[in-house]
């Protein structure tokens, strides 16, 4: 019996000395496990003489109960303190300032394209699309820019490697091939805008090898130069949000329009700042003209019955002018600081309820 007392004390000490749930479990196994000391002793009880068996069993059971209670109590204590540690660590400090939620910004190019589509959508234009990879015919020949024409050099074209037939595809240098494709598809009347990426081998503060253009085309039986002027003056007012912005049509040349003009808007430069509207300075913003009869003929349209106008502008250029962005290359550097400065909140995108259809 004495050694049973000793055994009990040793194990109680081991239980008290266990430092965590894992070491407590080891103690439990050494007592109650299949080869644990109490288990072994229980087996030994069966071998005793019948008169000793009862007393030995009672004594052993008593120790067993004490040890089991001690282990349970220690286990509960560990679990309680674990909970306390978690409560301490996971406490929410409601007085801390909220973490800002990062909000995305609309890129100025996307914003400007949405504004353009909203304005021309209001005027009844629909959106036409075409491929970025073009052929010579749609990008040049059909637009009255024959081979050897100097305008081909002006465009600094990116050519792709020649195909089996020797014909080289190219990256469209302007959105004008979209008007050709559109006119080939269906008979007049036409009232479309084309909007998208264009490419020229050029890079400096006002040029990037990829940029965006918007092009407009109207063809029907009665449209004349007066409509062209009215449409573009209205556009300048709406886009720059200056009701009386002076607009000037300056004679110019494009192979695909006749007559052709460049459009300037009045501005004022003072102290390094540019103000759109008023003043005595001019800023060129787009090219336009009456569609050349040869272009209509190239698309199978009877130039004796139909006529119309076209215009084209650089999206980056007019975004830079409206939003005071000095360097066109920054549009494509993906600098988040730049984007959060020049970008727009989602709510700034104009509505397109003007009936723009694809
Ligand atoms: N396609 C011309 C360019 O890229 C712009 C333009 C379009 C001019 C339509 C007149 C008419 O330079």
Closest-CA residue to 258 (of 200, 211, 297): 297
295-328 CB burial, b ≥16 within 10 A, e <16? bbebbebeeeebbbbbbbbbbbbbbbbbeebeeb
Cβ of residue 254 lying under 6 Å from some atom of ligand 1: yes
126-128 vs 190-199, strand pairing mode: parallel
Could you tell me the residue ranges of all domains in the chain? 4-89, 108-348
Cβ of residue 288 lying under 6 Å from some atom of ligand 1: yes
Q: How far is the CA of 2 from the centre of ligand 1 (A)?
A: 109
Cβ of residue 310 lying under 6 Å from some atom of ligand 1: yes
Tokens at residue 257, please? 């329009």
Task: Give the nearest ligand 1 atom to 173 CA.
Answer: 4
pLDDT per residue, tens digit, the chain (358 aa), is: 558 888 888 888 888 888 888 898 898 888 888 888 888 888 888 888 888 888 888 888 888 888 889 899 888 888 888 888 888 888 888 899 988 888 889 999 999 999 999 999 999 999 999 999 999 999 999 999 988 887 677 668 999 998 888 888 999 999 999 999 999 999 999 999 999 999 999 888 888 999 999 999 999 999 999 999 999 999 999 999 999 999 999 999 999 999 999 999 999 988 878 889 888 899 999 999 999 999 999 999 999 999 999 999 999 999 999 999 989 999 999 999 999 999 998 866 555 444 343 3
Q: How far is the CA of 323 from the centre of ligand 1 (A)?
A: 23
- Give CA–CA dist 204/279, Å, rounded: 28
Cβ of residue 287 lying under 6 Å from some atom of ligand 1: yes
170-225 pLDDT tens trace: 999 999 999 999 999 999 999 999 999 999 998 888 889 999 999 999 999 999 99
Q: How far is the CA of 176 from the centre of ligand 1 (A)?
A: 7
The CATH code belonging to domain 108-348 is 3.30.930.10
355 close to 121: Cβ distance less than 8 angstroms: yes
């Amino acid at each position: 019996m004495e050694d049973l007392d000793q055994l009990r004390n040793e194990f109680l000490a081991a239980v008290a000395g266990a430092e965590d749930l894992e070491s407590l479990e080891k103690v439990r196994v050494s007592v109650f496990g299949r080869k644990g000391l109490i288990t072994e002793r229980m087996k030994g009880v069966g071998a005793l003489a019948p008169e000793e068996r009862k007393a030995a069993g009672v004594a052993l059971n008593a120790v067993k109960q004490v040890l089991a209670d001690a282990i349970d109590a220690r286990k509960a204590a560990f679990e309680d303190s674990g909970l306390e540690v978690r409560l301490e660590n996971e406490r929410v400090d409601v007085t801390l300032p909220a973490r800002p939620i990062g909000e995305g910004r609309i890129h100025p190019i996307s914003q400007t394209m949405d504004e353009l589509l909203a304005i021309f959508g209001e005027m009844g234009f629909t959106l036409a699309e075409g491929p970025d990879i073009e052929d010579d015919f749609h990008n040049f020949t059909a637009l009255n820019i024959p081979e050897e024409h100097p305008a081909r050099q002006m465009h600094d074209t990116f050519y792709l490697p020649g195909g089996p037939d020797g014909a080289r595809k190219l990256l469209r240098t302007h959105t004008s091939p979209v008007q050709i494709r559109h006119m080939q598809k269906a008979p007049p009347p036409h009232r479309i805008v084309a909007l998208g990426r264009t490419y020229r081998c050029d890079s400096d503060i006002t040029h990037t090898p990829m940029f965006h253009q918007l092009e407009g085309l109207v063809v029907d039986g009665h449209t004349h130069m007066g409509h062209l002027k009215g449409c573009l003056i209205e556009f300048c007012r709406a886009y720059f949000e200056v009701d009386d912005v002076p607009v000037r049509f300056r004679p110019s040349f494009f192979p695909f329009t006749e007559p052709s003009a460049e459009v300037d808007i009045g501005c004022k430069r003072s102290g390094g700042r540019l103000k759109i509207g008023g003043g005595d300075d001019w800023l060129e913003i787009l090219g336009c003209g009456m569609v050349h009869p040869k272009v209509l003929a190239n698309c199978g349209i009877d130039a004796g019955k139909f006529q119309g106008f076209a215009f084209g502008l650089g999206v980056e250029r007019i975004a830079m002018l409206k939003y005071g962005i000095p360097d066109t290359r920054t549009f494509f550097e993906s600098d988040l600081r730049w984007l959060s400065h020049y970008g727009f909140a989602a709510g700034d995108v104009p509505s397109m309820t003007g009936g723009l259809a694809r």
